[in-house]
């Protein structure tokens, strides 16, 4: 591995950890009711009460079709934000989503739609997304859109994403936070998985969450 890639990887990991700390401190644990700041620690099988991410979106899928949150209102979602030319973290996390899907019992896997949403719509065109998601899992959908559409969905999921141009690199790269979100059909956050969570652990948690739902 080349040094600049190593440094990049190191920096992405550090930034992700910083995002966890900052996100944990200010963003993710804000109560839905602004008057109530105290959020109980969620028990293992309860939704992450009080943590508000998600919301309406309109994007374009890997076949060029316009899709919105309404198209996914009858399924659970495993959502990851990244970019197709990411050297290390994004492919690893998408492989974990694929591993999770394959580890689920079939009747549960059928109820889960994995989604990859780009943070880099300028380069991640419909064609790029089409070829990229196919590398990981047949049912993985790849969503892109205009910069405005992407900015809106990044904000509602509290995703950190920033362009970086390093010396000696011909093109820019992106620094970004790295979480996999498990969302319920009605758009509640059920779990968030981090870089250190394995596909096996995720599959166990998804199974438990789906079993616990009415």
- What residue is closest to Ni ion based on CB? 86
The nearer residue to Ni ion, 82 or 145, going by C-beta atoms, is 82
Closest approach of Ni ion to the CB of residue 46, in Å: 30
Closest approach of Ni ion to the CB of residue 184, in Å: 25
The nearer residue to Ni ion, 86 or 202, going by C-beta atoms, is 86
Closest approach of Ni ion to the CB of residue 88, in Å: 7
The nearer residue to Ni ion, 7 or 63, going by C-beta atoms, is 7
Under 8 Å CB-to-CB from 143, ≥6 apart: which residues? 59, 60, 61, 62, 67, 115, 116, 117, 118, 129
The nearer residue to Ni ion, 158 or 209, going by C-beta atoms, is 158
Closest approach of Ni ion to the CB of residue 115, in Å: 15
Q: Is 49 left (phi over 0), alpha (psi -120 to 50) or beta?
A: beta
Residue 34 main-chain phi, psi, to 5 deg: -60, -20
Structure tokens at 183: 């969302």
User: Are 191 and 206 contacting, i.e. CB atoms less than 8 angstroms apart?
Assistant: yes
Closest approach of Ni ion to the CB of residue 119, in Å: 8
- Is the torsion defined by CA of 8, 173, 100, 211 positive or negative? positive
The nearer residue to Ni ion, 86 or 98, going by C-beta atoms, is 86
* Contact residues: Ni ion, CB under 5 A: 82, 86, 89-90
CA distance 160 to 141: 21
End-to-end CA distance of the chain: 48
């Amino acid at each position: 591995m080349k040094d600049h890639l190593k440094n990049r990887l190191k920096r992405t990991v550090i930034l992700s950890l910083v995002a966890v700390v900052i996100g944990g401190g200010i963003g993710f644990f804000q109560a839905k009711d602004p008057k109530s700041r105290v959020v109980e620690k969620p028990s293992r099988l309860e939704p992450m009460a009080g943590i508000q991410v998600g919301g309406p979106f309109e994007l374009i899928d890997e076949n060029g079709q316009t899709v919105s949150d309404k198209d996914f209102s009858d399924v659970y979602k495993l959502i990851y934000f990244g970019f197709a030319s990411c050297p290390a973290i994004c492919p690893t996390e998408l492989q974990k989503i694929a591993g999770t899907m394959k580890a689920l019992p079939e009747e549960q896997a059928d109820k889960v739609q994995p989604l990859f949403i780009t943070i880099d719509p300028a380069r991640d065109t419909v064609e790029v997304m089409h070829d990229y998601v196919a590398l990981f899992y047949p049912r993985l959908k790849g969503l892109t859109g205009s910069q405005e559409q992407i900015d809106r969905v990044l904000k509602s999921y509290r995703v950190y994403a920033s362009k970086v141009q390093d010396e000696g690199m011909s093109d820019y790269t992106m620094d970004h936070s790295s979480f996999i979100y498990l969302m319920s059909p009605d758009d509640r956050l059920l779990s968030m998985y981090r870089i250190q969570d394995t596909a096996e652990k995720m599959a166990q948690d998804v199974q438990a969450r789906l079993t616990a739902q009415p």
